[in-house]
A = this chain, B = another copy of it.
Amino acid sequence: MVAVSTVTPLEQDVLLNMNKIEIGHGSGGKLTRDLIENIFLKYLKSDELKPLEDAASINLDHNHKAAVTTDSYVIRPLFFPGGNIGKLSVCGTVNDLVVSGAVPKYLTVGFIIEEGFLMKDLEEIVRSISETAESAGVKIVTGDTKVVEKNKGDGIYINTTGIGEIVKPMDLKNVSAGDKVIITGTIGDHGTAVAIAREEFNIDAAVESDCAALNGMLEPLFDIAGVKWMRDPTRGGVATVLVELSEATGLGVLISEEDMPVREDVRFIQDMLGYDPLYLANEGKAIIITSAESSDRVLEMLKGHPLGKDAALIGNITADFKGLRLKTIIGGERVLDMLEEDTLPRIC
């Protein structure tokens, strides 16, 4: 007897085709439907998500205004310590809603996939989207898939748009001198983890991205009247957010280097690379501006949550100057501007 392959050439062809994204998966025809049924609907199930309809019908509580936000995610690498582009695309949009005083409810997801992308990687990303959305309590209600040719993309880009119900309207106008600046945890973890994952630097360190949905931690703060404004310091980092805050309010922000929570290994690596953690992207942190009276309560509530255990009061709002200043550990004051050069592009 001769040994025979149990896989015929035709079957092999089918298997190979099934393993990679082809142009036809974006046709709107049969292959698109196969993709929807075999990958998307396997993980993304909701009453609202009906693949045959062009729009999803959603319920919003009529007692609140709706909030809407959109972000495209182009991070590289797609998989990094602490997450992947799928998890990030849910967390980032959920966080944009919650820092706007909204309870995140619904997400849409749009994929732009490069031809040849591995089906198993797509499946892993969609699985992450599903898990992250479920644990954050948001529903994926509709989606879209496009496929582009080789070298017209970079694996996969994802857009998510989020819709929520505003229960705590945040307004920069409420921010006033004497208010406190709180950060919910260590800064620069995401930027550092991704920089290392790119292997452009010869560094071996166990820094994970802080990528996390913050609604579970931040929503309880909506009940505190002294909480005035929140923002998640992603691209541009803590410094850029606070410079923008200063410009929009005409007030100054004084932050303290000593009080800034930075992981030891992150500080070490960024010292070596010459980056400042204040400008690095975070994907699971929020800056909170609160009245002085409420600041203890806010800190206490944050520290009671696993994602907030390193929360710290890092500065004050002041009418004494405009702009952002850092009180350095050696006692000086340094003026900080917003991010000028993009040292770590495609961080989210």
Residues of A that sit less than 8 Å from B by CB: 23-24, 26-33, 52-60, 62, 65-74, 96-97, 99-100, 102, 106, 108-112, 141-144, 146-149, 151-154, 157, 159, 161-164, 166, 169, 172, 231-232, 234-236, 240, 244, 248, 279, 281, 337-342, 345-346
| Contact, CB under 8 Å: B52 / A56 | no
A146 to B73 alpha-carbon distance, docked (Å): 8
In the assembled complex, which residues on chain B have CB atoms less than 8 Å from the CB atom of A281? 28
Q: Are A29 and B338 in contact (CB under 8 A)?
A: yes
Q: Could you list 26 examples of A-B contacts with CB < 8 Å?
A: A24-B340, A24-B345, A28-B234, A28-B281, A29-B235, A29-B279, A30-B337, A30-B340, A53-B100, A54-B97, A55-B67, A55-B68, A55-B102, A56-B69, A58-B68, A59-B65, A68-B161, A68-B163, A70-B144, A70-B159, A71-B144, A74-B112, A108-B161, A110-B159, A151-B151, A161-B161
In the complex, are the beta carbons of A109 and B70 less than 8 A apart?
yes
User: Within the assembled complex, what's the spacing in Å between the Cα atoms of A236 and B36?
Assistant: 15
Instruction: For A162, list chain B residues within 8 Å (CB).
Output: 55
Per the bound structure, the CA–CA distance linking A31 and B108 in Å amounts to 28
**Within 8 Å CB of A56, what residues of B?**
67-69
A88 CB to nearest chain B CB (Å): 13
Q: Are A108 and B342 in contact (CB under 8 A)?
A: no
B70 touches A65 (CB 8 A): no
Known: A29-B338, A151-B151. A60 touches B57 (CB 8 A): no
A68 to B142, CA, bound (A): 7
Q: Which residue of B lies closest to A99 (CB)?
A: B54
Residues on the B chain within 8 Å of A172, using CB: 52
- Tell me which residues across on chain B come within 8 A of A169, comparing CB atoms: 57
Interface centre among A54, A110, A338, A341 (most CB of B within 10 A): A54
* Chain B positions within 8 Å of A97 at CB level: 54-55
Given A71-B110, A112-B74, verify A24-B341 contact (CB < 8 Å).
yes
Chain B CB within 10 A, most for which of A26, A62, A97, A147: A26
Q: Which residues of B contact A338 (CB under 8 A)?
A: 29-30, 33
Q: A345 — which chain B residues lie within 8 A by C-beta? A: 23-24, 26-27, 147, 149
**Contact between A240 and B29 (Cβ–Cβ < 8 Å)?**
yes
What residues on B are CB-neighbors of A59 within 8 Å? Answer: 65-66
**Closest B residue, CB atoms, query A235:** B28
Nearest CB in chain B to that of A51: its residue: B244
Nearest B residue to A340, CB-CB: B30
CB <8 Å contact, B342 and A24: yes
Known: A62-B62, A70-B161. 20 other contacts (CB 8 A): A26-B74, A26-B345, A27-B236, A28-B281, A30-B338, A30-B339, A52-B172, A52-B248, A54-B99, A55-B99, A57-B166, A68-B142, A69-B142, A72-B111, A72-B112, A110-B159, A148-B346, A151-B152, A159-B159, A161-B161
